């Protein structure tokens, strides 16, 4: 009898361990998370507009139908990213997510305080490598440190009324997201910059 109770207690304790490990492992092994869902339909280091939220669009749950949305899926291994998003009439926001969909930073048009939200996204190592004087001249540009080298930037523009949707989409279509290169090779990034 005591042996049976011991077996059950051991099983429950082990179960607690299994639970902890599986909760911590789930974000790593999930294949249906937002990043994986968006990988096939977005370009790397470029802005891709998402289809509007409607009942037939099951891309992601709980998308806000009042917003036009665009994604820049980034990889910082080639260098820091320069992001420029023109502000729409109503409300524009830029949110940053890591590869495992953790929202580590978000900013809206009012806190950016300009007609264009301009940001530099880099890894902490790239930020540390930045020359001192360049850091000063870049002071009017916001520098965001990404905890991971890959992730998602979500650009959103509010259409306060359904009729405003084309304008919201147009302002996101004018947004750019590209690898920052100071040397001539920047020209090769042309196609991404034209969007």
Partner 1 sequence: MRLILSTLLALVIATVVGVGATWMTSTRGTDFGTLQIGAWTARPKTGTADVDPYSRASIARSGDLPIGQGDGVAFLAKTDDKKRPLDGRCDVVVSGVTPAARFWTLTLYDLKGHLVANSLQRYGFTSEEIIRSADGSFEVRMASRSRAGNWLPTGGIERYTLLLRLYDTPVGVATRTPRDAPMPAIATAGCP
Residue placing its CB nearer to partner 1 in the complex, 41 or 186:
41
CA distance 120 to 137: 13
Q: Which two tokens stand for residue 40?
A: 């096939």
Residue 137 backbone phi and psi in degrees, to 5: -65, -25
Q: What are the b/e assignments for 119-154, b being 16+ CB within 10 Å?
A: bbbbbeebbeeeeeeeeeeeeeebebbbeebbbbbb
Q: Strand, coil or helix: what is 154?
A: strand
Task: Kindly state the smallest distance separating residue 155's Cβ from partner 1, in Å.
Answer: 11
Q: How far is the CB of 145 from partner 1 (least distance, A)?
A: 11
Minimal distance, residue 131 CB to partner 1, in Å: 27
24 vs 139, beta carbon nearer partner 1: 24
Binding site residues, partner 1, CB under 8 A: 3-4, 6-8, 10-19, 21-24, 26-27, 30, 32-34, 37, 53-58, 60-66, 90-91, 93, 95-97, 100-108, 110-111, 147, 152, 154, 156, 158-162
Contacts of 19 (CB under 8 A, 6+ apart): none
Question: From the CB of 189, what's the least distance to partner 1, in Å?
Answer: 26
Give 52 or 192: the residue with its C-beta nearer to partner 1. Answer: 52
């Amino acid at each position: 009898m005591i042996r049976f109770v011991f077996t059950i207690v051991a099983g429950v304790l082990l179960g607690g361990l299994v639970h902890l490990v599986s909760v911590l492992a789930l974000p790593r092994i999930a294949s249906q998370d937002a990043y994986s869902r968006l990988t096939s339909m977005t370009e790397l280091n470029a802005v891709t507009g998402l289809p509007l939220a409607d009942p037939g669009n099951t891309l992601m749950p709980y998308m806000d139908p009042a917003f036009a949305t665009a994604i820049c899926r980034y990889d910082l291994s080639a260098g820091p990213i320069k992001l420029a998003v023109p502000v729409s009439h109503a409300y524009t926001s830029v949110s940053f997510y890591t590869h495992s969909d953790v929202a580590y930073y978000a900013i809206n048009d009012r806190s950016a305080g300009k007609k264009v939200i301009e940001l530099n996204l880099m890894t902490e190592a790239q930020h540390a490598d930045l020359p001192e004087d360049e850091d000063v001249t870049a002071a009017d540009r916001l520098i965001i440190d990404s905890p991971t080298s890959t992730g998602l930037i979500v650009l959103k523009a509010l259409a306060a009324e359904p009729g405003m949707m084309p304008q919201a989409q147009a302002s996101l279509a004018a947004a750019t997201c590209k690898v920052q290169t100071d040397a001539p090779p920047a020209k090769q990034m042309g196609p991404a910059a034209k969007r």
